[in-house]
Structure 1
């Protein structure tokens, strides 16, 4: 296996960050996990432990059925919710039964699962230390760029929103209004101009839904739309259904719902010209997202993608799919993909210049690259920004 000089690649990374005019980010579950929010596997077991009686019985029926179909990995809560929603669609939410679960019971189970998810995530959020996320967005908001700063995320927790609002950093997520903010498709279809006062606002696109989104039925047309609701004291008393892991069957066919518009935005953004796009905490397990990324890497030779992984197994898996992409660089603890080649990190302190220090990216004791950890990546950005005091001031 090739040897890759980690110090040389860090210098290249610093150059990218310093001179790229347009920079965007994609947050996966790993960024929230770094703050103590449970991942999908932990969430799946946590939900099953809290379900009782008929809810638990129907949950197990759906899960067992899926385990005969999905054999290459563990069935998770996303699979289960998608299947429950298929049952709701197939049965018309009536007494008709599919694999032992009626449409009526599927609807009740869906709402119960989402209620448990809401309570689990909000419980963890209430004790999470969001200082690193606040620092990241303070750093991002201080970047002098001619383009809007866009963050896409599969996370549906409210860590990002809480971090931005705590630091009074303006952001926009595609919803407008104050009583029951509604999704405004036109605001996403267009890119902002240099004269737009909102150009420097953070753009936040939550492509798997959010704990603050709820379905609302239009009583006249009977179609579903999504509204954003603020803090809720008791989710069990909320009659509207939560919008997470959105199911395509609920879309209003006459309008784009947020997730469809966000996927279009991701594609158009990645094809928009010169762009540095950074992935952190994302495992590349969502094929729909991957297809957009790989297609854009092929079509836009001015797009540079950087991926930071927490585990080397993720580096190896991605290499099997992306060895031909020269504009994709992947960083893991001991392995990396540079210019399409999979290699092992090589570190020699003698390569450091007088003013260079490796503490911000290398663990000497473990001989590992550390930026796959979201917390370490944020520290690296701040350390090399030259604006540490200004960032600390915003956070405080």
Structure 2
């Protein structure tokens, strides 16, 4: 590959961008981030990724005949049964048309019961606390607390755990998540859309809901509230379905998608994605469309792992023994090929100049794919930046723990010259 990107130059740019106190800076925390939290031997991960969470739920509900029927119908529809969010979306689409009759062999009561069981299993698995006060989440919050900003830091997350809340509150970082009140906190749409919150409060936007958000019907009207404790036997608001606009406008989901769109459209906004694999088409559209509308914005996707991943396949064939002997076919041999690890992210970044993607060994910057390579190494290069490139010639900021370590190292660093 002839193209290359100088890691030190781009690390300087990143550090400079994060040092700004009067520009819109945001973080997008997704499913891969909890995997970076160090745990005692045998207890990792603190929270599994989406696929392993789905496998856990499938195992827990394996004896439920109605759930198995739902999974079979999802497979028939060609949907992904290894993604619990896809399962919930499919289930809720069936709920919409199940009024007054069966759909795919399931009644409205069946679907409601399955939804409740899925949410209960999710809560049981991810209702956990950070093991100590030195986690990557705490490092992020220390950086947020370190600068008195003129524009509030905004944190977007698709995770429905409470790890960010724990870290923010451990470090007494004030934040606003869209809800107000003490007993049964309600969602304040006006405060979100009109930005009626103190500037020194960070913003925490939980796009896919939260395990402490609940929904109830009062006098025929649906209401969402945030509870101070995880409640059982209630309708939890986890990954709200895509209801029609009139029904869901006052619900958090669309309001927070709108907030993501508004943030990226701010002049010179800078959003850093961590732990996000670009598997959510609706979020991808929101991000890319906002970038198209605002060429001054920048979105940086920090991806875990190398640009390509080895894909191993076993050669399977029924071959006549005489033919096999003649052509020397080794049936069962494992072949290895390289395939793109995040194909959707790469496709989008190669078309959109202000969407950059950094993997451990390569990056797409300004639509150009290139390897990380130091080309003008100098003795006076900043040693703190050089160490993040490392002896392996890899830039591993796609590991959330490494990225938040980078944030810790730049706490207190003032704005640098723009000549990078």
- DSSP-derived class of the 1:117 partner: helix
In the other structure, the counterpart of 1:40 is 50
For residues 228 and 113 of structure 1, do their structure 2 counterparts lie closer, same or farther at Cα, with a shift above 3 Å needed? same
In the other structure, the counterpart of 2:195 is 191
Q: Is the 8 A contact 1:132 1:378 kept in 2?
A: yes
In the other structure, the counterpart of 2:93 is 86
Aligned residues: 370
* Structure 2 counterparts to residues 29-108 of structure 1, below 5 A: 29-35=31-37, 36-51=46-61, 53=63, 56-70=64-78, 75-92=82-99, 96-108=101-113
Structure 2's unaligned 5+ residue stretches are: 38-45, 308-339, 414-420
Q: Select 1:300's aligned residue among 276, 294, 299.
A: 294
User: Which digits, 9 at most, give the CA deviation of each residue in 1:194-250, with x for residues without a partner?
Assistant: xx6x211110110000011001111x2x12111101123xx5xx3321110112349
Tell me which protein shows more helix as a share of its residues: 1
Q: Is the 8 A contact 2:303 2:357 kept in 1?
A: yes
Per-residue deviation, 1:91? 1.6
**Does 1:141 pair with 2:145?**
yes
Q: Is the 8 A contact 1:319 1:337 kept in 2?
A: yes
Per-residue deviation, 1:316? 4.9
TM score, norm. by length of structure 1: 0.86
* Distance in 2 (alpha carbons) for counterparts of 1:61 and 1:116: 18
Q: Select 1:168's aligned residue among 167, 172, 178.
A: 172
* Distance in 2 (alpha carbons) for counterparts of 1:339 and 1:179: 48
In the other structure, the counterpart of 2:337 is none
Per-residue deviation, 1:288? 1.1
In the other structure, the counterpart of 1:265 is 259
* Distance in 1 (alpha carbons) for counterparts of 2:411 and 2:131: 29
* Distance in 2 (alpha carbons) for counterparts of 1:125 and 1:298: 39
**Does 1:114 pair with 2:122?**
no
Per-residue deviation, 1:253? 2.4
* Distance in 1 (alpha carbons) for counterparts of 2:113 and 2:245: 20
For residues 249 and 317 of structure 1, do their structure 2 counterparts lie closer, same or farther at Cα, with a shift above 3 Å needed? closer
* Distance in 1 (alpha carbons) for counterparts of 2:132 and 2:120: 20
* Distance in 1 (alpha carbons) for counterparts of 2:236 and 2:124: 12
For residues 248 and 296 of structure 1, do their structure 2 counterparts lie closer, same or farther at Cα, with a shift above 3 Å needed? closer
Q: Is the 8 A contact 1:29 1:155 kept in 2?
A: yes
* Structure 2 counterparts to residues 1-396 of structure 1, below 5 A: 1=1, 2-19=3-20, 21-22=22-23, 23-35=25-37, 36-51=46-61, 53=63, 56-70=64-78, 75-92=82-99, 96-122=101-127, 124-125=128-129, 127=131, 131-192=135-196, 198-218=198-218, 220=219, 222-232=220-230, 235=231, 238-249=232-243, 253=247, 255-311=249-305, 312=307, 313-314=340-341, 316-347=343-374, 350-351=377-378, 353-358=380-385, 360-364=387-391, 366-386=392-412
RMSD: 2.3
Per-residue deviation, 1:10? 1.5
For residues 114 and 191 of structure 1, do their structure 2 counterparts lie closer, same or farther at Cα, with a shift above 3 Å needed? same
* Distance in 1 (alpha carbons) for counterparts of 2:130 and 2:11: 35
Q: Is the 8 A contact 2:130 2:163 kept in 1?
A: no
Rg bigger for which structure? 2
* Distance in 1 (alpha carbons) for counterparts of 2:16 and 2:243: 45
Q: Is the 8 A contact 1:27 1:152 kept in 2?
A: yes
- DSSP-derived class of the 1:277 partner: strand
User: Which digits, 9 at most, give the CA deviation of each residue in 1:161-217, with x for residues without a partner?
Assistant: 11111111111111111111111100111135xxx6x21111011000001100111
